A and B are shown apart, each in its own frame.
Chain A
Amino acid sequence: MGTAMIGSNTRYHDPWGRFSLAVPEGWEVVGEPRVALPLVAVESQRPEAFRANLVFTASSLPEEMTLRDWQMGTDALLPTTLSDYLLLDLEHVEIDGVAGIRRLYCHVASGFAVTGEQWAVVHAGRGLALTATVATVDWDDVADAMAECASRLRLLDPESTS
């Protein structure tokens, strides 16, 4: 599994040209990028602590599927896949000028109480989602950094960059 440390002011560029993203300094990009899972980044190793992470997913959607339809499915799916899931907030937002949604939730992962924040948008026929997962006890300290990360997400046109 490949690992790359992110340096200062480093942007991650999707190999398929769909987005670019500023990953927090010092975080590691792990694994090989895949079409549906182009980015997994984790914070530096901390003994006996949950490592905050950012995961970017790109889902193929049926042509007629809207953001609303896609996200209604996500709302139904999350409580069945995440332990002790509780939806905390859900709002409409703009992601790089495109209408999207942001949700905040908490759940239990690997025995840790964690908080998840997710930004989702439909772009160029794909459902793109950026998900930050952080130990809840650390949430107040890192929430601004995660929001900053999402605000600097750039959606690209794959055809113009290929």
Chain B
Amino acid sequence: MSPRHLLEVDPVRFEKALATGGADTALALFPAELCQPVGAAVRDPLLRVTARIAESDGGVEHRLWVAEECAVLLLDAGEGRRELVTVAPALWTAALAGVLDLGPRRGHPAAAPLAVPTAAIEDLLGEEPTAFARAVKQFDPSGWRLIALLADGAAETEGGATLLLYDTGEAWLLAGSVRDDDTIFEPSSASQIWRILQRIQPSPKEQA
């Protein structure tokens, strides 16, 4: 995942600059020497992915842009820091897998389905930070994480895709059916999730 750059950027300023002035204004907050490939990727990406993670002690949102020249990850490093990572375009799923801590879970064979209130998921997917915060507060089983991946520009999904994952710490679960007010997460595996991630790709012809 090299090169890796740790940047001290106020996330509130970044979000405000992105909302009001667009990517160019937001990227002006970063050192100029980094901005050319990063700026091109953010301004004109082939694929945009937002990863929202709600967990017992808070929540984070990571962003990822995939372009022809590079893929850019803007990671929430906590305590008001943003970490900027650039990788080759073909490595974006590997970089995302690292960010999500996608890996083996010992309890996989014995995992059971899990019902999660659909309203909480809708809060997580909402645009407002306060709704995201409410979603986080509804989950307090220590060690568990609810992950929403929102992809815009994916080739095989007519422009958009949403992937919902639940990491119990012992097993990976994947959102399936809806029953009454709940979304049912079915037992999955890191292997299955890795395959699904490969389906959220810019078209191979466009990808460098």
A:32-69 near B, CB below 8 Å: none
Size of B's binding interface in residues, CB under 8 A: 24
Contacts of B189 in A (CB 8 A): 89, 91
Nearest B-chain residue to A143, judged by Cβ? B195
- Please tell me if the beta carbons of A88 and B201 are within 8 angstroms of each other in the complex: no
Whether a CB of chain A sits under 8 angstroms from the CB of B98 is yes
* A136, CB-defined interface residue at 8 Å: yes
In the bound assembly, the distance between CA atoms of A91 and B191 in angstroms comes to 10
Interface presence of B108 (CB below 8 A) = yes
Q: Check B22 for interface membership: any CB of A closer than 8 A.
A: no
In chain A, what residue has the closest Cβ to B102?
A: A88
Chain B CB count within 10 A is highest, among A108, A136, A143, for: A136
Instruction: Check B104 against A139 for contact (C-beta < 8 Å).
Output: no
The CA-CA distance from A161 to B195 in the complex, in Å, is 39
Tell me which residues across on chain B come within 8 A of A108, comparing CB atoms. Answer: 91
Contact of A136 among B1, B93, B102 (CB under 8 A): B93
In the complex, what's the smallest C-beta–C-beta distance from A82 to chain B, in angstroms?
A: 12
- Given A86-B94, A88-B97, A89-B190, check contact A136 B108 (CB 8 Å): no
| 26 A/B residue pairs, CB under 8 Å, sorted by A | A86-B103, A87-B104, A88-B104, A88-B190, A89-B103, A89-B104, A90-B104, A91-B104, A91-B108, A104-B194, A106-B93, A108-B91, A112-B90, A113-B88, A113-B93, A115-B194, A136-B93, A136-B94, A136-B198, A137-B90, A137-B204, A137-B207, A139-B194, A139-B195, A140-B195, A140-B199
**Which B residues have a C-beta under 8 Å from some C-beta of A?**
1, 88, 90-91, 93-94, 97-98, 102-104, 108-109, 189-191, 194-196, 198-199, 201, 204, 207
